[in-house]
């Protein structure tokens, strides 16, 4: 099939590399002036991979979209609404399948990314999400993993799973779009907390973080109308190894560097997601203790050690609290 990948950062470049690898015709788009696109045009490489010549590079958005049967979008979650407004003027979008390979919740509205897409492009667009465990650094070394594709329509989900499954990535069908999106986004907040524990030398508390994190998010998803069991699948708990422990996790690295006073220059979506999750928690009158602690440390500049110890070593409670 003809696949256009919009966004040429770490995951966008990988999406193009992977789609080409499994036999699709691929166009990789980056905005005019993008340093990532300039680097790929110059050397066909970035710090993660080498792109084959068959992947065509372009900064012409209309041409990339017109070419595609499937559009993969891989950009910063907080820029999605603005980007959709650029796409909106282009023809025939309802004839294409849109696959979001990105995680997050919109700050200020608390809206899921598929909701942002349908609000801007119309309810007639076919939109799905691609989430779950895996790092570019592992995939390019031929280390396989399992991921999830979810949408409102199972037919669309099946078509996309068929289009992108391979021995390198086995895709599962996501049956709960809300739970899949919220769980995948919130997983990055747990990654921030894990990095903070690493930075403080409290890595042994990651077990408690995992147990409490899944419970916290299951309550939120249930309150929002999703299936609370989705959080125990690949989009959230199944992604903990890659996010809470891997040296390749940007969110874990951000948390550790934050504690140690080191500057972190790459995108850590959890920093933005935690602010949006606090808005959602207020809307649904629900306490999210881990998210609230991470928010207090990053955005309210509270003392990390004091806040984390208060979180994990609080008064005795049952495991269900």
Measured from the Cβ of residue 10, the count of other Cβ atoms closer than 10 Å reads 21
Asked if pLDDT for residue 320 goes beyond 90, the answer is no
Give me 219's structure tokens: 């309550």
Rounded to an integer, the average pLDDT of 265-279 is 93
DSSP label at residue 173: E
**Which DSSP string corresponds to 190-226?**
HHHHHHHHHHHT-GGGHHHHHHHHHHHHHHHHHHHTS
Q: Which residues contact 116 (CB under 8 A, 6 or more apart)?
A: 80, 81, 84, 106, 109
**Each residue of 208-223: pLDDT tens digit?**
999 999 999 999 999 9
Measured from the Cβ of residue 228, the count of other Cβ atoms closer than 10 Å reads 18
CA 91/CA 95 separation, integer angstroms? 9
* pLDDT (0 to 100) of residue 267: 85
* pLDDT (0 to 100) of residue 266: 87
Answer for the pair 259, 197: CB distance below 8 angstroms, yes or no. no
For residue 126, the cross-strand partners are 97
pLDDT band at 137 (very low <50, low <70, confident <90, very high): very high
Phi, psi for 241 (deg, rounded to 5): -60, -45
Mean per-residue pLDDT over the chain, rounded: 95
Q: Could you confirm whether 187 is annotated as catalytic? A: yes
Asked if pLDDT for residue 153 goes beyond 70, the answer is yes
For residue 149, the cross-strand partners are 130, 173
pLDDT band at 270 (very low <50, low <70, confident <90, very high): very high
Q: Which of 96, 187, 206, 228 is catalytic?
A: 187
The H or E element that residue 257 is part of is: helix 250-260
Asked if pLDDT for residue 80 goes beyond 90, the answer is yes
Measured from the Cβ of residue 159, the count of other Cβ atoms closer than 10 Å reads 18
Asked if pLDDT for residue 313 goes beyond 90, the answer is no
Rounded to an integer, the average pLDDT of 87-97 is 96
Predicted TM-score (pTM) of this structure: 0.94
Answer for the pair 100, 129: CB distance below 8 angstroms, yes or no. yes
- Give the full edge-to-edge strand order of the sheet including 70-73: 56-58, 25-29, 2-6, 70-73, 97-100, 126-131, 145-151, 169-174
* pLDDT (0 to 100) of residue 314: 65
Percent of the chain with pLDDT over 90: 95
Asked if pLDDT for residue 318 goes beyond 80, the answer is no
Asked if pLDDT for residue 321 goes beyond 90, the answer is no
Give me 303's structure tokens: 């003392």
């Amino acid at each position: 099939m003809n696949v256009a990948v919009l966004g040429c950062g770490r995951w966008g470049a990988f999406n193009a590399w992977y789609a080409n690898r499994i036999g699709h015709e691929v166009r990789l788009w980056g905005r005019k002036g993008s340093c990532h696109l300039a680097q790929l045009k110059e050397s066909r490489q970035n710090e993660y991979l080498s792109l084959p010549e068959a992947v065509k590079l372009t900064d012409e958005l209309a041409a990339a979209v017109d070419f595609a049967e499937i559009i993969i979008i891989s950009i910063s979650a907080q820029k999605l609404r603005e980007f959709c407004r650029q796409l909106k003027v282009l023809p025939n979008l309802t004839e294409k399948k849109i696959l979001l390979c990105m995680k997050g919740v919109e700050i200020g509205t608390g809206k899921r990314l598929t909701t942002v897409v349908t609000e801007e492009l119309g309810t007639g667009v076919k939109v799905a999400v691609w989430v779950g465990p895996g790092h570019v650094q592992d995939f390019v070394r031929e280390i396989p993993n399992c991921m999830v594709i979810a949408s409102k329509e199972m037919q669309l989900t099946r078509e996309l799973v068929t289009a992108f499954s391979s021995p390198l990535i086995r895709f599962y069908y996501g049956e709960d779009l809300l739970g899949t999106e919220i769980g995948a986004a919130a997983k990055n907040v747990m990654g921030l907390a894990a990095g903070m524990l690493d930075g403080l030398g409290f890595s042994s508390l990651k077990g408690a973080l995992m147990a409490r994190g899944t419970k916290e998010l299951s309550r939120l998803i249930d309150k929002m109308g999703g299936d609370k069991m989705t959080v125990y699948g690949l989009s959230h708990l199944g992604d903990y190894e890659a996010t809470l422990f891997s040296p390749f996790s940007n969110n874990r690295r951000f948390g550790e560097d934050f504690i140690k006073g080191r500057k972190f220059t790459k995108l850590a979506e959890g920093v933005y997601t935690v602010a949006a999750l606090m808005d959602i928690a207020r809307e649904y009158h629900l306490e999210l203790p881990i998210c609230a602690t991470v928010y207090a440390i990053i955005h309210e500049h509270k003392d990390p050690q004091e806040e984390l110890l208060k979180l994990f070593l609080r008064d005795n409670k049952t495991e269900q609290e």
